[in-house]
Amino acid sequence: MRRESTNRRGRGVRPFRWKEPALSTVTAPARFALFPLRVARTLSLTPHLVRITLTGESLTGFVNGGLDQRIKLLLPLAGQTEPLIPPGDGDFGWYHSWREMSPEVRPVLRTYTVRGRRREPDEIDIDIAVHGDAGPGSRWAVRAAPGDRVAVYGPAVEQAGGVEFTLPADPGWVLLAGDESALPAIAAILEELPEDLPVRVFAEVDGPGEEAYLSPGRAGVETVWIHRRDGAPGLTEAVRAAELPGGRPYAWIAGEAAGVRELRRHLVGERGMDRRAVCFMGYWRAGRTEDQRGEDGPEEEA
């Protein structure tokens, strides 16, 4: 079905047609591209994490950078069966068109991590922390079903960007910390770390049911699970109470912005870690939607 829409300045916005167009029509000679995809299947992994597997012909051009590779998911609005894709090239042209689209037709934009990527058939997995109906991303994930249409803005060339985890040469050990929203990145990072590198994971989750997400564990990885009491976070307290290994650490922290900021302050201010060796990102902010955070400033700022 073709839809016509108008942006705020009255210009027509090209409707998105789900013909899974040839790659040349969705990519530009750019580092990133918009990939029209459909849900292949969903899998409930834990009480709060659901895996959405996406597929589509355009995925042949998707080049996963691994580790904590981020992508943007473009979701249809309520009443739409597919997102209207703004025109523009693969890097940022489309984003300006997206901002100019009328809110009545503009697709929801949410940031997630590539948890897995397979060939033959081309598929990617996105693991989404569901938190009820509070946000369109969570709402969509809970209801997603095979055949549902979305688009992904993701890497189209090697080393496109959107990967923050940067292991320094010769690290002594690695600290990974975060909540449910960070677990997909933590799991993907763990898969790529050398087997002989000691790793401490601090995972703050709703309850014991979430622990299955990182099971079975890997040799050399010690995981501390922190269960939120009455919704109160406790990541920093858990790290503060822990005896950490000696040697030069590299830390990666993501999750709710205030908790991330607090833990970083502890690691740098109280533990004396080199601030350049602490990678930290506010993945979401309590009481703020991703759209509001976009208006606040860079989404990664904790």
Ligand X SMILES: Cc1cc2nc3c(=O)[nH]c(=O)nc-3n(C[C@H](O)[C@H](O)[C@H](O)COP(=O)(O)OP(=O)(O)OC[C@H]3O[C@@H](n4cnc5c(N)ncnc54)[C@H](O)[C@@H]3O)c2cc1C
242 φ/ψ sector (left φ>0, alpha ψ -120 to 50, else beta):
beta
Q: Is 129 in the site for ligand X (CB under 6 A)?
A: yes
Query: Where do we find the tokens 């309850």?
Result: 207
Backbone phi, psi, residue 175, to 5°: -110, 125
**Dihedral pair phi/psi, residue 94, rounded to 5°:** -60, -35
Instruction: Determine, following the binding rule CB under 6 A, whether residue 286 of this chain makes contact with ligand X.
Output: yes
Cβ neighbours, 10 Å, residue 264: 21
Cβ 14 to ligand X, closest distance in Å? Answer: 25
- Binding residue for ligand X, selected from 82, 123, 125, 127, defined by CB under 6 A: 127
Residues 61, 67, 70, 76, CA torsion sign: positive
Q: Provide the residue type at 128 as one letter.
A: I
Answer yes or no whether residue 299 interacts with ligand X by CB under 6 A: yes
136 scored as a contact of ligand X (CB under 6 A): yes
* Contact region with ligand X (CB under 6 A), list: 14-22, 150-158, 211-219, 288-296: 288-296
Kindly state the helix (H) or strand (E) to which residue 128 belongs, with its residue range: strand 123-129
Taking only Cα atoms into account, the Rg of the chain, rounded to an integer number of angstroms, comes to 20
Please identify which residue in 46, 53, 113, 236 interacts with ligand X, judged by CB under 6 A: 113
Secondary structure element (H or E) that encloses residue 230, with its range: none
Q: What is the DSSP string of 134-184?
A: SSHHHHHHHH--TT-EEEEEEE-STT-S-----PPSS-SEEEEEE-GGGHH
Select from 95, 223, 288, 294 the one that contacts ligand X (CB under 6 A): 288
Identify which of residues 33 and 126 has a Cβ nearer to ligand X in the complex: 126
Residue 299: how many other CB atoms lie within 10 Å: 16
Q: Which of residues 252-281 bind ligand X (CB under 6 A)?
A: 281
Provide the 3-class DSSP secondary structure of residue 103. Answer: coil
CB of 161 to ligand X, least distance (A): 12
Specify the pairing of strand 5-6 against strand 12-13.
antiparallel
CB of 184 to ligand X, least distance (A): 4
Considering only 11-19, 33-41, 179-187, 202-210, which stretch makes contact with ligand X by CB under 6 A? 179-187
User: By CB under 6 A, is residue 72 in contact with ligand X?
Assistant: no
Using the rule CB under 6 A, which residue among 89, 234, 289, 301 binds ligand X? Answer: 289
Pairing of strands 32-46, 149-155: antiparallel
Q: Does 110 bind ligand X (CB under 6 A)?
A: yes
Q: Site for ligand X (CB under 6 A): how many residues?
A: 28
To the nearest whole angstrom, how small is the minimum distance from the Cβ of residue 96 to ligand X?
Answer: 20
Binding mask 209-248 for ligand X (x = CB under 6 A): ----------------------------------------
Q: Is 53 in the site for ligand X (CB under 6 A)?
A: no
Residue nearest ligand X (C-beta atom): 135
Beta bridge partners of 51: 43, 127
Q: Which of 203, 213, 284, 302 binds ligand X (CB under 6 A)?
A: 284
Which listed range, 26-34, 95-103, 110-118, 192-200, lies at the site for ligand X (CB under 6 A)?
110-118
Q: Where does this chain bind ligand X (CB under 6 A)?
A: 70, 110-113, 127-129, 131, 134-138, 180-181, 184, 281, 283-290, 299-300
